[in-house]
Amino acid sequence: MAKTVQERSDKAAQKRQAVAEEELRHKIRPGIEQAMERIRLRGQVPIITEVLQIAIMKMDLMGDNELIEFLRYPRHEIVISENVAREFHNQSLSELKRNPGDEIIDPLAP
């Protein structure tokens, strides 16, 4: 005879308890969910929880410096080219000549 839904649920609960399984929940934004799905598909892993568990196990094997670098949040670096800086400076001087009421204050001047 087939097991009832309750019997299957009870068996699953016993199994989770036997292996000390815990449920973790957290909120994610749509972009993160899409990235996780792309990773899951590229890695050919059937469910996202496996992807997360594998990632955590691999991170645990990393050395401290490697892990710190891996977990560093990606930041955009703003680099102003010499040409842009020169053009900004020239435009600023031009504007000051046109409207001489503003003063230039050099923060590095003693």
Helix (H) / strand (E) element for 41: namely: helix 30-42
- Higher pLDDT: 57 or 78? It is 57
pTM for the complete prediction? 0.53
Residue position matching structure tokens 């496996």: 50
Identify whether 91 is part of a domain: no
Identify whether 85 is part of a domain: no
Question: What domain count does the chain have?
Answer: 1
Residues spanned by the domain of 25: 17-71
Identify whether 50 is part of a domain: yes
Identify whether 1 is part of a domain: no
DSSP state letter for 96: H
What percentage of the chain carries pLDDT values higher than 70? Answer: 92
Identify whether 9 is part of a domain: no
Identify whether 87 is part of a domain: no
Sort 36 into a burial class: Cβ within 10 Å, 0-12 / 13-18 / 19+: middle
